[in-house]
Structure 1
């Protein structure tokens, strides 16, 4: 797994930034689904759950996109 910087108009952006944006969007989608079904009412600390889900989704996106070799 090898990530290289993304060059946008001379500004180097970490390849981790788009993956974080994607993970955040997926997490917000999962949050809407969980709120719709009422699952967040049964959680002791909803913010902690959301952060944990974000980290899991971020890890999955890094592993998936790292193996696709699109950043080489």
Structure 2
């Protein structure tokens, strides 16, 4: 069963924690891609960044709430 997170009396959805974790991972991944020069070879950088974030978020959701 999915439970809410209690943060100083404020109940948050577990999705909020997953969004924060995905955002941090995305920032690290984006920086690595900029340093290696991959971002210059991408056709549409904004679309690529959005797709990378969605892939990271969906991977985290599957990792945490995946089939058991």
Query: Distance between the aligned counterparts of 2:32 and 2:7, measured in 1?
Result: 34
1:4 is displaced (CA, Å) by 1.4
Aligned to 2:10: 11
For residues 1-72 of structure 1, the aligned pairs below 5 Å read 2-67=1-66
Which is bigger in relative contact order (C-alpha 8 A, separation at least 6)? 1
For normalisation by structure 2, the TM-score amounts to 0.87
For normalisation by structure 1, the TM-score amounts to 0.83
Query: Distance between the aligned counterparts of 2:3 and 2:38, measured in 1?
Result: 39
Unaligned runs of 5+ in 2: none
Query: Distance between the aligned counterparts of 1:4 and 1:31, measured in 2?
Result: 31
Question: Over aligned residues, Cα RMSD in angstroms?
Answer: 1.5
Q: What is the DSSP-based 3-state SS (H/G/I as helix, E as strand, rest coil) of the residue aligned with 1:7?
A: strand
How many residue pairs were aligned? 67
